[in-house]
A and B are shown apart, each in its own frame.
Chain A
Amino acid sequence: MGLNAKTSEIIAFAFLTLAALTVAGFVLFILYYIVSNGYSAISIEFLTEMPRKMMTEGGIYPAIVGTVYLIIGSMLVALPMGILAAIYLTEYAGENRTTWAIEMAINNLAGTPSVVFGLFGLAMFVKYLGFGPSLLSASLTLALLIIPVIIRSSEEALLAVPPEYRESSLALGISKWQTIRHVVLPASIPGIVTGSILSIGRVAGETAPILLTGAAYFLPRLPDSVYSQFMALPCHLFVLATAGTNIAQTRPLQYGTALVLLMIVLAVNFVAVLVRRYYRQKLKI
């Protein structure tokens, strides 16, 4: 021991503090950079107009609409599936091989790269089922991507409901499903909502899977059915920043698009924090 214990503690703690500050610094710098460069591009026209002149001018309206459709489409599939699976796993499943297989499948789905989901969506939805490159194919692909997220957060919310709730309800002669439906689920709704809100951010930001399953580079109109191709914010940003007709000239549009995307994600996180705080306070009573 070259250093005495007190000195080495001071040095070590300084480094640990520095590490945490560095991480916070990254976040602040990225946010500051995108916000300060992007805010001047944001205007009502930017948000509500079609892109013009091969995307070098105009707005991002169809990309916003496309992203909203993707969120709705994937949530419609993933939310019920995820919540029902979570109910089974927390309330019914015993410790056996089947449960183990399901848990393992969820873990692996959660860790599978999004571009692999994209390939799968292309092979299964676009080609095999014949949906073509479309809103439908992309929404289904994204739904598969977020199901593990929704299952995990719903499981956590269900497990947080005290067992006494279930026991008292069952003791009154109420059946298991009715107990879940009228006692457990209502008590865990805030937690489930928080998890689902966070997966909205994930859907809004995913790029690779929808590039492979139906996002269009440039499509200055809105999708008219679930079988249409569509524009989406993350793909739009990617195309403008790397493959646009004039990358330097469209920088303001790129910053603006990045900012809108970031705002969606931040808003989503903010709402999730609010819901969680509300829930915590309610539990304290």
Chain B
Amino acid sequence: MFNRNYKEKTIESMLFVVSALTVFILFLICLFLFRDGLTLFEDVPFLSFVTGKFWYPTSVNAQFGLLPLFLGSLVVTAGAILFSVPLGVASAIFISELANPKVADFLKPFVEILAGVPSVVYGFFGLVVLVPFIRETFNLATGQTALAGSIMLGIMALPTIISISEDAISSVPGSLKQGSLALGATRWQTIYKVTVPAALSGISAAVMLGMGRAIGETMTVMMVTGNTAVIPSFPGGVLDPVRTMTATIALEMGEVPQGSDHFHALFAVGSVLFIVTFLINLLADAIKKKYRFKVD
């Protein structure tokens, strides 16, 4: 028996080591990102990076200002959320509360396909369909604008928002809804006064995760936003080209000499991106945990 116990223990420890590797990977990501990112501040003051208004990485007096890129990401993401949250949550309500099971089963694969389409295909589609459309509709010099990025990212954030909201909505206990209906409320009154408020924590988590997806998206924004690194004006800037943090990394990393300030600046941008999405994830997690529905 000793032998068998020994074997069991060994297997358990090995399995533990494999799962603990995920923590180690996260640690390594932090280490390698921050190590190269922080090197920038040996040559460039931290404040001038964070508050710098200009991103001129290749000029003689190179300037590495984060603001245009950060605000670029923010504008595109905000636009995406404005458009995908109402659409996504409404679809989730439809799928879980309104549609009969057959229709719901028919619609779910659509959401899965939407989640599965590669970002570069979305980018390509945006480039050949949406960008010319925006250029002609608004009579612009170029259709590669923040708006195009927002619309494409909005579509891409939809599956995250729909599937997580739908989970939240369908996990609201039936007794609550039946109670409301028994009191004479209509189905719609029940949905917006009982079901949706009860699922609000899950829906908020869905929105946060959709936001995380949008802010981290690279290829699509790179192909449809025009990539001009200027601080976007508001609201007119929606129809101007912008440059996000993600696009900057992917566009410029191919051409920078390794170990240069520019190289380190891109890692610094990557670190900021990592920290932002890390915080968004923590927040989504906390919301989900704290307000998890306590009725059985």
Contact = CB atoms under 8 A, between A and B. Distances in A.
A207 B22 contact: no
A123 to B, nearest CB: 4
Contact of B218 (A92, A113, A241, A242): A113
A221 B188 CA distance: 61
B15 A84 contact: yes
A238 B120 contact: yes
A175 B246 contact: no
Interface residues of A, number: 86
Given A19-B87, A127-B258, A241 B127 contact: yes
Interface in A132-181: 144, 147-148, 151, 175-177
Given A92-B15, A111-B277, A123-B32, A269 B22 contact: no
Contacts of A207: 118-120, 218-219
B218 A16 contact: no
Contacts of B26: 105, 108-109
A92 B18 CA distance: 13
A6 B186 contact: yes
B56 interface: no
Task: Pick from A104, A117, A119 the residue with the most CB of B within 10 Å.
Answer: A119
Judged by DSSP, the binding face of B is helix
A84 B16 CA distance: 9
Nearest to B26: A105
A113 B281 contact: no
13 contacts: A5-B189, A9-B188, A19-B90, A22-B87, A23-B87, A26-B155, A30-B122, A85-B15, A108-B278, A113-B277, A206-B118, A207-B118, A207-B119
- Chain A interface SS verdict (over half): helix
Interface size class of B (residues with CB under 8 A): 35 or more
B281 A85 contact: no
B261 interface: no
Nearest to A88: B15
A211 interface: yes
A118 B219 CA distance: 12
B285 interface: yes
B277 A112 contact: yes
B188 A12 contact: yes
A268 B219 CA distance: 22
Contacts of A229: none
Nearest to A121: B32
A12 B195 CA distance: 15
B113 interface: yes
B124 A254 contact: yes
A107 B120 contact: no
Contacts of B128: 241, 251
A265 B114 CA distance: 10
B249 A115 contact: yes
B88 to A, nearest CB: 8
Contacts of B90: 15-16, 19-20
Interface in B149-171: 155, 158, 162
Interface in B214-245: 215-219, 222-223
A258 interface: yes
A198 B159 CA distance: 14
Contact of A124 (B28, B191, B223): B28
B209 interface: yes
Given A5-B185, A19-B86, A120-B29, 18 more contacts: A23-B110, A31-B113, A34-B125, A84-B15, A84-B19, A89-B19, A92-B16, A109-B25, A113-B274, A115-B249, A116-B274, A120-B33, A123-B267, A177-B12, A208-B246, A211-B254, A212-B249, A241-B223
Contacts of A43: none
Contacts of B215: 113
A17 interface: yes
A13 interface: yes
A205 to B, nearest CB: 3
A119 B266 contact: yes
B210 to A, nearest CB: 11
Contact of B267 (A24, A119, A258): A119
Contacts of A27: 110, 113-114
A192 interface: no
Contacts of B209: 111
Contacts of A105: 22-23, 25-26
B121 A258 contact: yes
A206 B120 CA distance: 8
Interface in B115-156: 116-125, 127-129, 155
B35 to A, nearest CB: 8
Contacts of A92: 12, 15-16
Nearest to A83: B18
Contacts of A262: 117-118, 121
Given A111-B209, A124-B32, A23 B22 contact: no
A151 B120 contact: no
Given A23-B114, A206-B118, A85 B32 contact: no
A235 B151 CA distance: 22
A81 B158 CA distance: 30
